[in-house]
């Protein structure tokens, strides 16, 4: 029987201690740990629970070597034992996925018929009107990056380091990995155990620089 992976950090400590790793040891991630990271990471929220994220999980040296030039030779890609190509499926609001989400909700006893009907009409309408985005890439990235953030934090709680990466060529990944046009790579996420040189904490802006009060420009009350 496979041992259940045990977290080594609380979620709050994982948030505080996570750094983007720029070098990785060759040590493998246990399969059960990897599965748990992906299972918990994809508990992330998504619009209408459409879960439009798709992950190509690279573990072979051959696959990572193919990805390396697509990511401009950044060393994390070939060093990390696992690299996720985190993609968004632009067909996620199509009727078959809507029906799959409805069926999932029904299995959970959490899908009233009226809400299912609302999904069948409201989602296609929302995707036509697009009141909160202009391009499907913005919508898809909004969803996928939430899952990427969850995965990175769950991984950290299990002692597994990561590095979100946008330094890649979309066209090169799509061609190299034979992705359909409807699958958009949003982020690469190498996972593994950080090696020297370790990335130092670069700091974060104080809240009074990034938060406002009731109106834009109004100070956020301390």
Ligand X SMILES: Cc1cc2nc3c(=O)[nH]c(=O)nc-3n(C[C@H](O)[C@H](O)[C@H](O)COP(=O)(O)O)c2cc1C
Helix (H) or strand (E) holding 36: helix 31-41
**Rule CB under 6 A: is residue 74 a binding residue for ligand X?**
yes
Distance CA(155)–CA(51), nearest Å, equals 19
Token reading at 84:
């996720």
CB of 17 to ligand X, least distance (A): 10
Residues 192-211 that bind ligand X (CB under 6 A): 199, 202
Residues 12-51 that bind ligand X (CB under 6 A): 19-20, 22
Residue 7's alpha-carbon distances to 4, 15, 101, in angstroms, are 10, 13, 30
For residue 162, give the nearest of 186, 194, 202 by alpha carbon: 194
**Rule CB under 6 A: is residue 150 a binding residue for ligand X?**
no
CB of 172 to ligand X, least distance (A): 14
Is the CB of 105 or the CB of 164 nearer to ligand X? 164
**Rule CB under 6 A: is residue 164 a binding residue for ligand X?**
yes
**Which DSSP category does 80 fall into?**
S
The count of residues interacting with ligand X (CB under 6 A) is 12
Interacting residues with ligand X (CB under 6 A) = 19-20, 22, 74, 163-167, 187, 199, 202
């Amino acid at each position: 029987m496979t041992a259940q992976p045990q977290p080594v950090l609380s979620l709050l400590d994982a948030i505080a201690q996570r750094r983007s790793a720029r070098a990785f040891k060759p040590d493998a991630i246990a399969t059960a740990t990897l599965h748990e990271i992906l299972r918990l990471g994809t508990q992330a929220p998504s619009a209408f629970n459409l879960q439009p994220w798709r992950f190509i999980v690279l573990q072979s040296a051959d696959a990572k070597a193919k990805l390396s030039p697509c990511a401009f030779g950044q060393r994390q890609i070939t060093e990390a034992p696992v690299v996720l190509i985190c993609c968004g499926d632009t067909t996620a609001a199509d009727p078959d996925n809507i029906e799959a989400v409805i069926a999932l909700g029904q299995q959970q006893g959490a899908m009233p018929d009226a809400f299912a009907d609302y999904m069948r009409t409201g989602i296609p309408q929302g995707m036509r009107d697009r009141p909160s985005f202009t391009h499907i890439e913005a919508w898809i990235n909004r969803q996928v990056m939430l899952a990427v953030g969850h995965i990175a934090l769950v991984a950290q709680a299990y002692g597994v380091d990561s590095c979100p990466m946008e330094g890649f060529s979309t066209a090169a990944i799509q061609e190299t990995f034979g992705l359909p046009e409807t699958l958009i790579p949003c982020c690469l996420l190498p996972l593994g155990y950080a090696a020297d040189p370790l990335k130092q904490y670069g700091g974060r802006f104080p809240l009074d620089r990034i938060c406002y009060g009731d109106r834009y420009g109004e100070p956020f009350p301390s």
